[in-house]
Structures are given as C-alpha cells and as structure tokens.
Structure 1
Amino acid sequence: MHRSKRQRWFSSTWERLSNIGLSDVALWFRRRLPILEWAPKYNVRESLLPDTVSGLMLTVQQVTQGLAFAVMSSVHPVFGLYGSFFPPLIYAVFGMGRHLVTGTFAITSLISASAVERLVPPYSGNVSNSSLGPLGLSDYEMQRIGVAASVTFLGGIIQICLFVCNLGCATFLLSEPVVSSMTTGAATHVVTSQVKYLLGLKMPYISGPLGMFNIYIYILKNITNATVAAVIISIICLVVLVLVKELNQRYKSRIRMEIPIDLILIILTSLVCYFVNMEQGYDLEVVGHLPQGIPVPQAPPMDILSDILVEGFSVALVGYTVSIFLVYNSAKKFKYSVDENQELLANGLTNVIPSFLFCIPNAGAPARSFVLFSNGAKSQVACLISCVLILLVIYVIGPFLYWLPMSALACIIVVALKGMLIQFNDLKKYWNVDKVDWAIWICTYVFTICFAANIGLLFGVLFSIALGMLRLSRAKTLHLVHWDAEYNKMLEDLNSGFFQNVKIVSVGMPLLFLNVKKFHADMLKMNNKLTGNIVPKKKTDLLLSPVSNGDSNGEPPTLQPQPQRSESYTLILDCSGITFYDYTGVTILTQMCLELKGQGTTVLLTGCSDSLVRALQYCGLESKNQTFLDSVNSALSSLHLQTSRTSNFEAIDSTSV
C-alpha cells in the first residue's frame, strides 16, 4: 500500500515536471530575477541622466556612511566600503524596489557590534598582530570581521528560510506606528553611539538593558576628557551640514543639482587635518589606513553560529522590516507592485553572498533611499552607477581618506538620521486619528531605547496584536437592516430605472491594520462586480446582502451572466458598522474613496460617527457635495431629489467577520 502511494506520488511529480515548458521557465526567471523585467524596458534617453546624477550623489553617502557604520559595527572601516559595493549589485538583480538603496545600515551595525564585542573583546595585546594577505590587517581585525560576517551570513540564511516558507505576507503584522517608533528609537541609539566621536572621547563599549542611559552617564562623568579639536570640528560640521541641507531642500526647485556638502566637508576636513597634523598634535582620531582592492572570498566562521543566534534573527527581522517599508513607500509613490516574498529572497541573498566577501550586515537605508527620491532617480541603474564609483574609491581614492576625522564622519551620520528622528512628528497624526496607535508608538519607542531595536520591534508587534485582538473581540461585526415604510415606497419604482446605477455597500467591520488588506481586496472585488456583471436580484426583507465573507485571497462569488452596464455609478457606503478604526484603516478607506471618485464614481458615506468624519477629513477626504450623510435613507432621498429618472435598485452588503 505504501509502495503504491510512493509510485503515485512519483508518477504525479514526473507528470508535472514533464509538462513544464520554456514559457514556464521564462516566467519563473522573470519572477525571481526582476532585472529581466525592467532592464529591457529601460529608457536611456529619459532615465540615464537622472540616474547618473542620483548615482553620483548616492556615492558620497554610501562611502561616508559605509565607513562610519563599519566603525559602529566594531570592525575596520574598509569593510564598510565592501558593504556599500556588493549588496546593491545583488539587490539590483533580485530586488523589486526601484528606489531602495541596500547597504550598510546603522541599526544592523549596532546589532552586529554586540556580537563582535562579546566574542572578540577589545585588543589587549594578547592577540597576534600578524598581517593577513594583501589587506595588511592584523589577525585581530580579521577575527572581528569574521564574527560580523557570520552574523551577516546567519541573518541572510534566516531570511531565505522565511522566503522558502512563504512568510513574506506576514508583513501585515507590522503596523506603521510600530515601524515608525522602532526606527526612531534605533536612530536614537545610533546618535548616542556617535557622541563619543563628536566629543573625541575614549570610552569602553557599553551595551545591554538601559545601555544608552549608561553611555550618557559615562560621558557626563568623563566630559572633561573630551578632545577640544574634535568638539570644534563637530560644532562647525554640524552647523554647516544642517544649514546647507536645509537650503538644498528649500531651493530644490531652483537648482538643478543639490550642493554635495558631504563630499565638500570630507575634502576640507581631511585637508585641514593633514596640513595641521591634527592626529599627532591635537590627539584627533582619524579613519586611518584603508587597504586597496578587494580581498579573495572566504567563508565566514561557521563554528560560532550557535553563539550569534540572537543577533542573526535580529538582523533578519529588523533589516527586512525597514527594507520592505521603504519598498512599500516607493511602490506607492511610483505606482508599481511589490512581491513581499521576493523581497525576502532579495534581502537574504544580499546578506548571504556578501558574507563571503567580508561584509557587515546590510539592509535598506532610509537616508540613502531618500537621496534617490530627491534627485529623481528612475531605477536601480542609479545604484549600479554608484557601485562603479565605489569600486573606484576602493582601488584608487581609499588611501586619501586616511586623514578624515572621525568627528566629521560622526556629524555626517547624525545629520543623515534626521529623516528618522523627525518621525516624532507622527505622534500628532496618530493622536488625531487613533489614540491607541499613539500609545503603541510611545510604548514601542520606550522599549526600543531601553533595550534594543529587535526587542522594541517584537514588543510593538505583540502589543499591537494584543490590542487589536481585544478591540476586534469586542466589536459588533454584523448588523441587520430592516425595511421600513419609506424604503418600501421607494422600492416600488424598482423597474422604473431610477436606482439602476445606485449601489449600496455596508461596511460591517472595524478598520484596523490587521484587516485593511482584506477590506481593500473586498472593495476591489465589489467594484469589479459593479463595473461588470449585475448581481441577480432576489426577494428579501433585508436591504443589504453580503459581497464577501471569506478570505480576501479566495475566489469571488460566482455570478450569473447578465447584460453589461456603464462603469460609472453612484456608491452609497454605509459606515455605521465601523465601530472603531486606526490610522491605517482610515488611510485605506480614504484612498479607496478617492480612487473611486477618480474613476467617475460618486461616493456617499452614511452612518459615519463624528470622530470618523473628522479622521477622514484629516486624511484628505473633503466633504464636498454632501459626501457625508446621516443614513442610507437620507442618501436615497438626496439622490431622488437630484434626478427625475427612475431605475432598478440593487442592494449590496459587504460585511466581514
């Protein structure tokens, strides 16, 4: 019996394999290698110039932040250059984000540093100082990058395993307030890690619970040991960077290319440090010698993987979370689709492959992705151009960065984190839309700064799910609407034509980040029905009948063939069932209403609570032409007064458990 089952399985498997054709293979390659999809369509005339300008601007950020994040990861700065070169190349082939910049990232660097400092403590003279190959780095430095590369490898393997398990769709568990607060808290940690360079202080590595506060306590106790030259350079660099970047942003429409203040600052501070000999004369810490060229690939140490499980999972989850939200923003702005599972594969490969090339953990970088946004980049070609220039730095320009002060490098990092730090402004919109989201943001931020980014992310997800489940369990998801005398009078005109293009949809569910994807999918299915086939009319004592009550990924209900009608119709959306909502839900509802109006559909919202009306208006839905009405009855009466035509009436109810 078991043998016959095995035979049937082998025969069915062989039959499926034998039926695979060239078209199936080509489709698979296009899905797994997105570059095959967009590269043949690349418009050189329209896209090459903005991509080239964006690539030039991006190179400066990649080099400076690569050096700084390598130091933050407790390894030699040159490994940050490798981490800025290899991951973007791989992501350009496998990734779907057209404006995502992958490379060294502050949060993953901090996570990696905890493993490096734990397994390879600071140099004490007992470690062999012999050089290794053409890099000319000590065994101590190679041991440290070995640990960081192992964290990179393990994080990538975990992401690929999640891809194999098709868990990319689990991003629905990540609400916007959780990601916003986690990244803001992580940015606070990064700024804290740079304070010692801003002040020129020599201090031990401090980590663990409340480690950020212990760092500031140590700094306050030893503030008299600060290097005066480092403090002066930091103040000047911070003022210049902030002023010039603000001018670039304010006069963006008047200038063709932003002032590359980061590059200018690197050149000027390096020249000043060289001619004044500030390293020896003023005890100023500089980047130091950067080996030229790329080393021969080498497998990271595998015997320590069990010791870095926590860091590996943290890199995998935190890195992917930040990357996928950057891709979401890019896809939303430039209107293209994204496969979350493919992004898992792309992120996994950008960690696994570079781990054999001495790279620290990497992820999508918000500040550098914004560089592509602001300079009008069109595709990943901008990142590829940047990689070519970084290769030039690795082989030619690297030695000239010897005199770059660490304090200037720290200033560039702190100012680059502005976009993440100003997410404190999100608190205002969460308070105005949903105070529970506001509380989630505050609690997640507190956990992040008290512990670490991975702990904050885990707490935020669990906390938001717990609150969401509690709110959903107390919500009334279904309600019954009975006929009354006025409805009966109107329905006597069913065959007269007045109600032919009037459709009613009842939303009988709360709108939260947990169910907005399903709500969006059901609304799209409903709209396809209303712009396609007419639902057969049935006699009933209810005004509303369900559109979808199953999984959003399921098949839509089977419809009987009916005559086609015009795509333009009037939609009455009964929102009396929306007993509560959050910012994500209100945003999706607003987006759907605006999209339908853009297609020529008149949308009337009925039964909205006062707080929901205020939230919708705050998110951009204007109350023109009586968009908000008290009830379905009021909407029908209003429509009846606006036209003298009579038509058939069809009632549709979209409810969700």
Structure 2
Amino acid sequence: MDPPKKSSKTRHLSEAEEESENYLENFYNKNERSNRRVSFVQRGAMNQAQFDEKFDYNKPHMENLVKKQTRKFVSRFYEPFLSCNAFKNFLFDLIPILKWLPEYRWKTDLTPDIIGGLTVGVMQIPQGIAYALLARQPAINGLYASLFPPLIYMLFGTSKQSSLGTFAVVALMTGISVESLTAPEETAFNATDVLDPAEVIKEYPTATEVSCAITILMGLILFLMGVLRLHFLTTYLSDQVIAGFTVGSSIHVFVSQLKTLLGIRRLTRHSGAFYLFRHLYDLVLALPRFNPVSLGISVGSLIILYIGREFVNPFIKKKTKSNIPIPWELVVVIVSTAFVYFSGVNASSAVQIVNKIPVGVPEFAVPRFDIFKHVFSDAISITIVSVSVWLSISKMLAKKNNYQLDAGQELFALSFTSIASSFIPTIPISCSLSRTLVAVGAGCVTQLSILFSSILVFLVVFFLGSLLETLPMAALSAIICFALQGMFKKFYDLGQLWKVSKIDFTIWVVSCGSTVILDVSIGLIISVFFALFTTILREQYPKWHILASVKGTQDFKDSERYGDSMYFKGICIFRFDAPLLFHNVECFKKSVDKAYLEWQKSHEFYVLREERDTILNHKMDGSDESSDGKTVHTMNTMSADILSRHFVIDCSGFTFIDLMGVSALKEIFSDLRKRGILVYFANAKAPVREMFDKCDFFKFVPKENFYPTMRDATSIARQRQLELGFKDTTYVPEHDRLTEVLSSHPM
C-alpha cells in the first residue's frame, strides 16, 4: 500500500529484487537442524504444526489443571496441621507481630515510632469525635474506634504506616444508614436535644446498634473474601472510580455539616436518590434561624486551621527542619472547648455541644442480629469502599518503602478487627489518608507506632473525656470541612486527566456526578458498572493495523508509525488489537474488509509489474464483462499469469476467542480464498489454538496455515511467490453462517 507521507523511507521489494533474495537467503535457511533449541535463522521457516512437532509441544490436560487448582485451594486448610513446622509458619503468617516484633530494631526504630505514633494519636482524638458525629453516633464511639481497632490490627496487619480508624466517607455512609433505621426523634447528640429513652419507640434500633451491626457484617464479609481470596475484586474499583466517588462523597459530607456550621437545628431528614438537593432546599429556607455564635465559632475555627496549616506549619518546618506538624485540629478543640466553658454560650445562646462523654471501660454487647437484613446492602457498600481505600493506600506505601504487603492477610486483619470491635460501641473503620500522610511525614517505621498513638486516645477515653463535654459541634464540623479541602483540590487535576485519557476523565466525572446527584451507595454501583462498560467499549471498537517489516530487524510494526520499513509485495499483514469475542466480531470483519480495500488500492497488491499490465489489458479489452453485461472482478481471480497473494493475520492480539470469533475467522478465510488470496495465521497463542481444535476449526482451515511467528508466515509466502509454480487451486467450501446459527437455536 502507498506509505504515508511521513514514511518516505519505505522501500518496495519490486525495486530491489536482488536485495530481497539476499534478504531471504540470510534469514530462511532450509537445511535440516538437530533437535536442539535454535534461533529462527538456524531452524529455518516452518508452520505451526512443524514447530510443535520439532520442539515437543504438549497440551496440558484441563482435568489435571482443575484438579491441581482444587487441590491447591483445599490444601491451604489442612496443610498447616500436618506438622509442627507447618503450623508454626501458619501461625506466624496469621499473626505477623510474632514475626516482626522479635526482629524489631529497638535502637533505630523506637524513637521514630514513638514520635510518629504520638503525632497520629493527637490527630485521632478530634477526628474520632468529629467523624463519630458525622456517623450519627455518640462522640465516645469515635474514640473507641480510634483506640481498640488499631490495637487489634497491630497484631494481624502487615501495613507499617497506614493509619486505621475513622474515615469521613465511611462515617458518612454509616450515618446515612443510621438515619434510615433509627427513630425519627433521635437526632445528633448534644446538650439541648437530650432524648428520654422512654419516649424512643422500642422497635427502632439505636444508632450504636445499627453501627455495630454494620461493623460485624463488614468483618464477616471481609473474612469470607479472605478465605476465598477475593481481594482481586477490589481491582474493579479503579483509581478514577475511587477518586470520583470520594470527591462526590466529600460533597455530601460538606453539605451535611452546613447546618451544624450555621447552628441550625431540626431539619427534616431525607434519604434516597436526589436527597442532597432536598436537604439544600430545606437548609436555604431555614437560613433565618442560624445561630450567630455557632457561625462565629465555625469561622474562627476555619481561620485557625487555615493559617496554622498553610502558613505556620511550613514556616516552622523550614526553620526547624522537622516533619512533625503542629496538630491544629487539637488546638481548635482545646480553644473552642475552653471558650464555651468559660463564656457559657451553650446555655445563653443554645450552642450545640458534645455534652457528656463517658469515661472508663466501654459497655460490651452482642450486636443485634435481627437488623442484619436491613443493613446488609449498606454493609457491602461500606466494606467495598473501606477495603479499596485501605489496600490502595497501603500498597502504595509498601512499594514506596520497599516492603511486602500481603493483601490476603490484610483482609483477615481488617476482618478480625471489625468483628472484635463490634462488641463495643464503635463505627466502621478504614484508612485515613490525612493521618497516614502525617504518620509517614512524622517518621513512623513499623506497626509499633500504633501502640503510642493509642496511649493518647486511651488517656482521653479513660481519664480526660469529661474535659471535652463543652466542645462545640460547630468546631468539629469546621474540622471535618477543612479536612475535605484535599478532596476538592482533585478538581484541579481534571484538566491534566482530560489530556491523558478521555475515558478515565469520563469515569471520574460519572463517578463523582452520580454520587452527588443520586446517592452514595447508588453512585458507587453506577461508578463500578460504568467503568466496566468503558472496558467493553474499548474492546468493542479496537484499533487495527497493517504491519510492515522494520528495516534491519525481524520485527513487524505499524506501518503508519515507522517510516524506515518495507512491505512485501503481494503480502498484507493485518493485526486486530483485541480479544475476538461475540461483541466485536462484526467490527473485526469490517476491519479486515477495510484492510483489504486499502491493500487493493496500493502498489503492493501487485506482485509484478506484468501482473498489473495484464489486468489493465483485460479491462481495456472489455474482457472483464460477462455475456449478460455484468462486471467480473478479474483482479480477484487466479489466472496462469497472476501470482498468488497472501493475507497474514497476526493473532497476537487474540488473548481470548469464543465460538462467534472462530466463526468470524472461518468467514474471513472463506471470503479471501474466493478472491484468490491465501490466508495465514501467525502468533496464535496456545489456548487460542486449543480452542480452534475443540471447535474443529482445523477441519475447515488447514493446520498448515498456522505459523509460530510472523517471520515464518512471510518467509513461506515469499518462498512460494519466488517458486512461480505455486497455484492456489484447492477448493474451499463457503462457510455457511446461517446454518451454523440455526443449529445453535431451538426451532
């Protein structure tokens, strides 16, 4: 075919026959070689059947593979108990602290772990309280979630820096589930809205009961995923799905905190699709009821957080060369609590406060199993988000710090953590990116840092909780909203994402938009399915290429990208870059037709100049018209003066093929043979060839038409052209697609 303008260096073999023959002589040695493994130059060109016979190809037995995989899966459950050593290894894998703690480097790692752990612990306190209120829980539940689950994870987890505890998106999803199941009279826990338990309808579960039910279900789901090794399912949540979903969820979090920032109470609760807009509508109508003191506390808290994080911390870091930041969230908690306590505005101006925080050992209770059916779907959504965020962040940190993260063990660690913590008042947990980044910056080296962060939380839970009773909720909402600024900055990355990948950009927008417009859980489902749908679309209309031989190499590359390449006259090399499945077989057949038409218009379609002259003479003589006046396409017939043409299909892109794909190849083979073209198949993978064998494909297409490499296929084609005596006259029956379709459907 005529090479593109940029491919001006492309050469044609008809203009250099002598060089072509030398080229073939150098690359295609016909001498027989020994059975040792040799290079292509030494072994000579051969078809796939000859190659398989020479190099002893053995087809694996499917039954043996199934038995092997089944045995491997089952053996994991009994092999640990076959010997003491096996049980020891199993125990050390199940409880990694038994492995890493004896090897702990006390002299070098203890100090960074203490400093990093205390720094994270300082952040755990305000975030634990704030996210508990976001989950519609008592404030103490967030502190419990920041204390006990991390300690349990320290025994079973393999991530060294990830900070386990409360997470805004998970807390929001928990709060939505709590609001839909608890009594309508039950509102946020504060000083002025104290509920009388006798007035609460008994058939409604409490907020803590709903949260604990979700937590234990989350643990059971994670345990099942760990046993079945289903951690690979999290890969279906791509980075763009997670990013768009978390940003969309952050918008829900921000809107949910507006009423607290403004000090507005008693708004109607909404749920389901489009509830965010109904909530905003009610909020606008209630603006005249805002509390000026609460608004002042919110604005003051945001100013302190902004100045401290954006100006003071960078200045101190520059002067002291220290990565340990000042915990401005804790500063806001202390200052706002002291302000409310000494000013008494909670009584005079009805400022909402956290109110009583229990001190001491938490109350143990068995989760209510009767509400499992009501929270099961929410538990699945929360589990998917929690484990996806956790694994994505933990894998990134493990790779950066050069240690191995066991994804399967992480599922068990999170499972044991969730199940054990569900017997105390708590909320579902996940990884917080902000705390994790602080942990890394502060120098955390191992999981032992969790112990020191838990010490601070322990002091608040068991001794200092009463000091936070006057903590205003407006300050906590300000902490939550300020923490979301990192999420909202993701909008700035959309421009670059559009330049890199339009499809990934669309996934991000759909994920974020569906989450905002509809609902968090619905948005997650739509995001995942849309991302999978884009994968189908990419395979529905894949790229196809005509290949050319790159000069001086044994490689065949896209002719439109490589200018220093050459075509073989009378040989067209075609590649389809996708698995050949039912949804793209029509696209494949159209691509072959387009490639053939492009080839037919080019000079490379004619093997010799005399052949072109012969066809043109037939047309000038009118010999291409039959007696009834109908045109006969002479160039598509085989005459004694016309050499055979060859169409080589590079099957390297066929990673999978189904029955319709096999049928499409039969049609292509039949149609091209009618046009006097011999079809070759090269680079077909072993599973694809085995599929052909099962479908009796080789009864329709001779096995000799398959070649192990593109060099083999083009070599044989060139040899046949140079022999001049080869005539392709073998009869090939037309592939009857209609009969095949009818035979597969009941009549």
- Provide TM-score, normalisation by structure 1: 0.68
Residue identity opposite 1:117 in structure 2 = E
- 1:229 and 1:477 map into 2 onto residues whose CA distance is 66
Residue identity opposite 2:126 in structure 1 = T
- 1:130 and 1:238 map into 2 onto residues whose CA distance is 39
- 1:153 and 1:477 map into 2 onto residues whose CA distance is 51
Determine the structure 1 residue equivalent to 2:288: 224
Q: Deviations over 1:269-320 (max 9, x none)?
A: 1111111101001111111011111224211101111111121111111111
Determine the structure 1 residue equivalent to 2:112: 50
Residue identity opposite 2:145 in structure 1 = G
Q: 2:438 aligns with which of 371, 392, 402?
A: 371
Residue identity opposite 1:254 in structure 2 = K
Does the 8 Å CA contact 1:128/1:138 hold for their aligned counterparts? no
Q: Deviations over 1:152-175 (max 9, x none)?
A: 111221121122221102222121
Aligned to 1:286, the other structure's residue is in SS state coil
Q: How far apart are 1:178 and its partner, in Å? A: 0.8
Q: 2:359 aligns with which of 278, 287, 292?
A: 292
- Pairs within 5 Å for 1:481-520: 482=549, 486-487=552-553
Q: How far apart are 1:113 and its partner, in Å? A: 2.0
- Structure 2: 5+ residue runs without aligned partners? 1-70, 187-192, 555-574, 580-647, 657-682, 684-747
Q: Deviations over 1:64-84 (max 9, x none)?
A: 111122212222111111111
- 1:30 and 1:430 map into 2 onto residues whose CA distance is 43
Residue identity opposite 1:146 in structure 2 = E
Aligned to 2:319, the other structure's residue is in SS state coil
Q: 1:170 aligns with which of 229, 233, 236?
A: 233
- 1:481 and 1:66 map into 2 onto residues whose CA distance is 63
- 1:141 and 1:307 map into 2 onto residues whose CA distance is 12
Aligned to 2:364, the other structure's residue is in SS state coil
Alignment pair present for 1:392 and 2:459: yes
Q: How far apart are 1:243 and its partner, in Å? A: 1.4
Residue identity opposite 2:136 in structure 1 = S
Does the 8 Å CA contact 2:80/2:87 hold for their aligned counterparts? no
Residue identity opposite 2:216 in structure 1 = F
Aligned to 1:99, the other structure's residue is in SS state coil
Q: How far apart are 1:453 and its partner, in Å? A: 3.0
Q: How far apart are 1:106 and its partner, in Å? A: 1.8
- Pairs within 5 Å for 1:349-428: 349-428=416-495
Q: 2:302 aligns with which of 222, 226, 238?
A: 238
Report sequence identity in percent: 29
- 2:194 and 2:330 map into 1 onto residues whose CA distance is 39
Does the 8 Å CA contact 1:76/1:141 hold for their aligned counterparts? no
Alignment pair present for 1:206 and 2:270: yes
The 3 A distance-change label for structure 1 pair 335 and 429 is farther
- Structure 1: 5+ residue runs without aligned partners? 1-8, 132-136, 489-506, 512-541, 551-576, 578-657
Determine the structure 1 residue equivalent to 2:224: 161
Does the 8 Å CA contact 1:128/1:139 hold for their aligned counterparts? no
User: RMSD in angstroms over aligned alpha carbons?
Assistant: 3.5
Determine the structure 2 residue equivalent to 1:123: 185
The 3 A distance-change label for structure 1 pair 58 and 18 is closer
The 3 A distance-change label for structure 1 pair 119 and 545 is closer
Q: 1:114 aligns with which of 150, 172, 176?
A: 176
Does the 8 Å CA contact 1:248/1:258 hold for their aligned counterparts? no
Aligned to 1:270, the other structure's residue is in SS state helix
Q: Deviations over 1:376-395 (max 9, x none)?
A: 21122222211121111111
Q: How far apart are 1:417 and its partner, in Å? A: 2.2
Q: How far apart are 1:441 and its partner, in Å? A: 0.5
The 3 A distance-change label for structure 1 pair 291 and 52 is same
Residue identity opposite 1:225 in structure 2 = R
Q: Deviations over 1:418-467 (max 9, x none)?
A: 22222223313311211111111011100111233332222222111111
- 1:449 and 1:16 map into 2 onto residues whose CA distance is 48
Aligned to 2:360, the other structure's residue is in SS state coil
- 2:547 and 2:83 map into 1 onto residues whose CA distance is 52
- 1:74 and 1:383 map into 2 onto residues whose CA distance is 26
Does the 8 Å CA contact 1:169/1:341 hold for their aligned counterparts? no
Does the 8 Å CA contact 1:129/1:140 hold for their aligned counterparts? no
Q: Deviations over 1:167-197 (max 9, x none)?
A: 1022221211111111111111111111111
Q: How far apart are 1:483 and its partner, in Å? A: 7.3
Residue identity opposite 2:388 in structure 1 = T
Determine the structure 2 residue equivalent to 1:446: 513
- Pairs within 5 Å for 1:430-441: 430-441=497-508
Aligned to 1:254, the other structure's residue is in SS state helix
Does the 8 Å CA contact 1:183/1:420 hold for their aligned counterparts? yes
- 1:229 and 1:261 map into 2 onto residues whose CA distance is 21
- 1:138 and 1:402 map into 2 onto residues whose CA distance is 27
- 1:239 and 1:31 map into 2 onto residues whose CA distance is 48
Determine the structure 1 residue equivalent to 2:381: 314
The 3 A distance-change label for structure 1 pair 231 and 296 is closer
Does the 8 Å CA contact 1:183/1:453 hold for their aligned counterparts? no
Alignment pair present for 1:150 and 2:219: no
Does the 8 Å CA contact 2:182/2:204 hold for their aligned counterparts? no
Which is further off, 140-149 or 119-128? 119-128
Which is further off, 474-483 or 27-36? 474-483
Q: How far apart are 1:549 and its partner, in Å? A: 6.9
Q: How far apart are 1:118 and its partner, in Å? A: 2.4
- 1:148 and 1:205 map into 2 onto residues whose CA distance is 18
Q: How far apart are 1:139 and its partner, in Å? A: 8.8
Residue identity opposite 2:108 in structure 1 = E
- 1:127 and 1:277 map into 2 onto residues whose CA distance is 22
- 2:140 and 2:204 map into 1 onto residues whose CA distance is 11
The 3 A distance-change label for structure 1 pair 479 and 343 is farther
Which is further off, 67-76 or 244-253? 244-253
- 1:177 and 1:19 map into 2 onto residues whose CA distance is 43
Does the 8 Å CA contact 1:35/1:93 hold for their aligned counterparts? yes
Determine the structure 2 residue equivalent to 1:179: 242
The 3 A distance-change label for structure 1 pair 547 and 194 is closer
Determine the structure 2 residue equivalent to 1:589: none
Determine the structure 2 residue equivalent to 1:327: 394
Does the 8 Å CA contact 1:152/1:315 hold for their aligned counterparts? no
The 3 A distance-change label for structure 1 pair 487 and 152 is closer
**Paired positions, count:** 489
Aligned to 2:206, the other structure's residue is in SS state helix
Q: How far apart are 1:44 and its partner, in Å? A: 2.2
Aligned to 2:102, the other structure's residue is in SS state helix
Does the 8 Å CA contact 2:226/2:411 hold for their aligned counterparts? yes
Determine the structure 1 residue equivalent to 2:628: none
Determine the structure 1 residue equivalent to 2:150: 88
- 2:80 and 2:328 map into 1 onto residues whose CA distance is 59
